[in-house]
Chain A
Amino acid sequence: QVQLQESGPGLVKPSETLSLTCTVSGDSIGNGDHYHWIRQQPGKAPEWIGNILYTGVTHYRTPLRSRVTISVDTSKNQFSLRLPSVTAADTAVYFCAITSSIDFYFYSWGQGIPITVSS
Chain B
Amino acid sequence: DIQMTQSPSTLSASVGDSVTITCRASQSISKWVAWYQQKPGKAPRLLIYKASTLQSGVPSRFGGSGSGTEVTLTIHSLQPDDFATYFCQQYDTSPWTFGQGTKVEVK
Residues of A within 8 A of B (CB): 4, 44-48, 59, 61-62, 95, 97, 99, 103-112
Contacts and interface: CB of A to CB of B under 8 A. Distances in A.
B4 A106 contact: no
B44 interface: yes
B34 interface: yes
Contacts of B41: 111-112
Given A106-B46, A110-B43, A44 B91 contact: no
Given A105-B89, A106-B34, A106-B36, A45 B99 contact: yes
B95 interface: yes
A106 B100 CA distance: 16
A81 to B, nearest CB: 16
B1 to A, nearest CB: 9
B49 A103 contact: yes
A44 B46 contact: no
Contact of A111 (B43, B91, B101): B43
Given A44-B100, A45-B4, A104-B94, 6 more contacts: A48-B95, A95-B44, A97-B44, A107-B55, A108-B46, A111-B42
Contact of B87 (A4, A45, A97): A45
24 contacts: A4-B43, A44-B100, A45-B87, A45-B98, A45-B99, A45-B100, A45-B101, A46-B89, A47-B98, A48-B95, A48-B96, A95-B44, A103-B50, A105-B34, A106-B89, A107-B46, A107-B49, A108-B43, A108-B46, A109-B43, A109-B44, A110-B43, A111-B43, A112-B43
Interface in B43-101: 43-46, 49-50, 55, 87, 89, 91, 94-101
Interface string B10-31: 0000000000000000000000
